[in-house]
Amino acid sequence: MKMSDMRELNNDELVRMLEDLKEGLFNLRFQNAKNPIENPYKMKVMKKDIARILTLLTERKNAQQTNS
């Protein structure tokens, strides 16, 4: 998902998405440990999406602290 699309979501939606991505990444790692997965690029994409969400949540938190 692109960062511009993520910016349109509220914090609750981002946290839910983050939890889903973390769970999905865990499952992919588990599958990969048993048998090599067909598309290892999927893991890379999930890691980047997790990083994007964490970055966006941190930006919002810092902006909120600055405005307070």
pLDDT of the chain along its 68 residues, tens only? 888 999 999 999 999 999 999 999 999 999 999 999 888 899 999 999 999 999 999 999 999 888 87
Closest to 57 (Cα-Cα) out of 20, 7, 22, 2: 7
Q: Are the CB atoms for 46 and 25 separated by under 8 Å?
A: yes
- What is the spatial distance between Cα 32 and Cα 7, in angstroms, rounded to a whole number? 31
Pick the CATH number of 3-61 from 1.10.540.10, 1.10.287.310, 2.30.40.10, 3.40.50.720: 1.10.287.310
What residue ranges do the domains of the chain occupy?
A: 3-61
Q: Considering the entire predicted model, what is its pTM?
A: 0.90
Q: Which residues contact 8 (CB under 8 A, 6 or more apart)?
A: none
